[in-house]
Structure 1
Amino acid sequence: MSNDTSSGNPPESCAEPAYAKLNLALHVRRRREDGYHDIETLFAFCEDGDELIVQPAEDLALFVSGPFGGELLGEAAEDNLVMRAARALQAHTGRTRGAALTLIKRLPVGSGVGGGSADAAAALRLLSRFWALDLAEAELEALGAELGADVPACLRSRPARGEGTGTHMQPSDLGALVGKPVLLVNPGVHVSTPQIFRAWDGVDRGALGVGDALQIARSGRNDLTAPACALVPEIRNILELLGGDPPALLARMSGSGATCFAIYEGADSRDLMARRIETDHPDWWVMRSRLR
């Protein structure tokens, strides 16, 4: 069935989570000559997100399902980050074994929570295991960096302080924030990351702080919030709603938007706000989760 020379038979199927990514703070420091931006950010991850399932097959194939799967159906399979990750892994290792991949798309597309990057990262982790490649994490991260700036962080799916384009990372400790309930809210609007970065005003407002994760986050900011709100005013409405909730420890937009989040001390406070939003804004997307 394959001209792969690795020994053993692959499992019938296995799955890999693609955890939602949050930027607890995101400082844009400068616009580089290559068109990218130097940033400083504090990555955190939720317990929930998309999911990727693999089964044996002679060739590579991708199937998409889930609440937001329809948004990807018009996209050419080869353009999907999951397929690009699989092809990159094949090319890097010289393996030609196939795989039938099913992406369960639970996160909105273009929403600032690393959906596509997390999916690509999950594909690299899953196929490395499924194809018994035994690649080091650093090797996978180098491959991931070629697919997108957030992919290396999503490969780890662990708290980290990111610099450069976000690919230079130092492990971080969420401390007391681990396991804290978090509420994600999106107004149902797709946001273009390049467009938001282009709209950044170019002002360096200073470095990311130091201290524990909550101190860093609270003293920090997301420099992409203003251009995102100018493009999607609903983001400001969400931030005012979440930020005006006294039990929230932190309320912020993630990445380039449009998803915003609030971290809570207890699940009751989170769920109360979630029910309020679901009642008052039934067209908004809401996800309850916890920080990993």
Structure 2
Amino acid sequence: MSPSIPSAPRAELARARVNLTLHVTGRRPDGSHLLESLVAFPQIGDRIAIEPSDRLELVREGPFARDLDGPPESNLILKAIDGFAEATGIPVPDVRITLTKRLPVASGIGGGSSDAASTLRLLEDVTGTLLEDADLQRVARSLGAGVPVCLVPEPQLIRGSGGTLSPGPELPDCGVVLVNPRRAVSKPDVLETMTHWDNPPMPAVPERFESLGDLTGFLETCRNDLQDPAIRICDAIQNVLTVLDAEERIRFARMSGSGATCFGLCQTKDALDVERTLRAAHPHWWVASGPLS
């Protein structure tokens, strides 16, 4: 019997995952890379909403909905529903899931992974069926290496091949501006251009950053080892970084993940004004801002 679904829609912000650092420290025999990364989840993201329906359906809307392609069976949200039903032993619920796609696709900020993780959390809420942490992690891993970290949208440290997670430091009050030149970048293509895999690990991460200056000072000692390879196949990334570096209110800028989205850190009070400035100067770019955490 299908679970009873609350009549009022339940919704969640599927936050972008921003790699503040990304050190590639080795390569496994199967070709996968080893990494160390500090990730944060700003208050910027897609919106996932669930409400009762007479059948399972997925509605896609928003500025980047048209960029979602592939057959339904490859959709991470629908795969998350199937995985949840299998893990809980309940039938696939009759729900309408509305994805408002606000994050660019294939942009290095984990949009699809975060959508899947939010779907799992919402399914627990609306069905009243909670999975054990180990079972929830297992379902998340079955959906992709980037999904487990998105289950807890708080600062985290990622190590190994992506499956070793630990709580990250407390971040200071600051703002972030995300910029994408509306160019999709393939992570496999970026990895193919890598020439150095055994790079130095990330420095020890403190438990807390007291100020924006403390955070940016630490980030200056770190890297994103995918940034230069990504720029080699998408020079628009360098254009974005050059603009962010020239903006006096931005204290630090770097590419996230495998690109092409870049982030700039600033005082919270400046974030929206910086977003407006960049939108006016570069209307063809995607720009969004918000608190870092």
Which string of whole-angstrom CA distances, capped at 9 and with x for unpartnered residues, describes residues 101-157 of structure 1?
A: 110100000111110000010111111211211113442122111211221111111
Separation in 2, partners of 1:221, 1:146:
29
Contact 2:19 2:37 in 1 (8 A): yes
Separation in 2, partners of 1:75, 1:267:
40
Q: Give every structure 1 segment of 4 or more consecutive aligned residues whose post-TM-superposition deviation is greater than 4 Å.
A: none
Residue in structure 1 matched with residue 88 of structure 2 by the alignment: 93
Structure-2 change in CA distance of 1:274 and 1:222 (3 Å):
same
Residue in structure 1 matched with residue 192 of structure 2 by the alignment: 198
The alignment status of 1:117 with 2:118, answered yes or no, reads no
Of 9, 16, 19, which aligns to 2:12?
16
Which string of whole-angstrom CA distances, capped at 9 and with x for unpartnered residues, describes residues 152-210 of structure 1?
A: 1111111011001222111012332xx41110000000111121122221332200112
The alignment status of 1:278 with 2:272, answered yes or no, reads no
Contact 1:235 1:258 in 2 (8 A): yes
Separation in 2, partners of 1:24, 1:80:
27
Residue in structure 1 matched with residue 254 of structure 2 by the alignment: 252
How far is the alpha carbon of 1:249 from its aligned partner?
2.7
Contact 1:243 1:250 in 2 (8 A): yes
Structure-2 change in CA distance of 1:262 and 1:62 (3 Å):
same
Residue in structure 2 matched with residue 27 of structure 1 by the alignment: 23
What's the Cα RMSD here? Answer: 1.6
Separation in 2, partners of 1:132, 1:34:
40
Separation in 2, partners of 1:104, 1:28:
33
Structure-2 change in CA distance of 1:147 and 1:63 (3 Å):
same
Contact 2:268 2:291 in 1 (8 A): no
Separation in 1, partners of 2:205, 2:118:
30
Q: How does 1:56-205 map to 2 (within 5 A)?
A: 56-72=52-68, 74-96=69-91, 97-176=93-172, 179-205=173-199
Separation in 1, partners of 2:245, 2:162:
26
Residue in structure 1 matched with residue 212 of structure 2 by the alignment: none
How far is the alpha carbon of 1:38 from its aligned partner?
0.8
Instruction: Give the unaligned 5+ runs of structure 2.
Output: 210-214
How far is the alpha carbon of 1:34 from its aligned partner?
2.2
Separation in 2, partners of 1:56, 1:33:
46
Separation in 2, partners of 1:91, 1:127:
13
Helix, strand or coil at the partner of 1:82? helix
Percent identity of equivalent pairs: 38
After the TM superposition, which of the residue ranges 48-57 and 110-119 deviates more from structure 2? 48-57
How far is the alpha carbon of 1:58 from its aligned partner?
4.5
Letter in 2 for 1:70: R
Helix, strand or coil at the partner of 2:16? strand
Separation in 1, partners of 2:160, 2:62:
34
Contact 1:26 1:222 in 2 (8 A): yes
The alignment status of 1:261 with 2:263, answered yes or no, reads yes
Residue in structure 1 matched with residue 224 of structure 2 by the alignment: 222
Helix, strand or coil at the partner of 1:196? helix
Separation in 2, partners of 1:46, 1:38:
25
How far is the alpha carbon of 1:29 from its aligned partner?
1.1
TM-score, length of structure 1 as denominator length: 0.91
Instruction: Give the unaligned 5+ runs of structure 1.
Output: none
Contact 1:210 1:216 in 2 (8 A): no
Separation in 1, partners of 2:64, 2:284:
14
Separation in 1, partners of 2:191, 2:275:
30
Residue in structure 1 matched with residue 240 of structure 2 by the alignment: 238
Contact 1:274 1:286 in 2 (8 A): yes
Letter in 2 for 1:79: S
The alignment status of 1:288 with 2:289, answered yes or no, reads yes
Helix, strand or coil at the partner of 1:239? helix
Which string of whole-angstrom CA distances, capped at 9 and with x for unpartnered residues, describes residues 212-252 of structure 1?
A: 35244221110000111011101001112212334323211
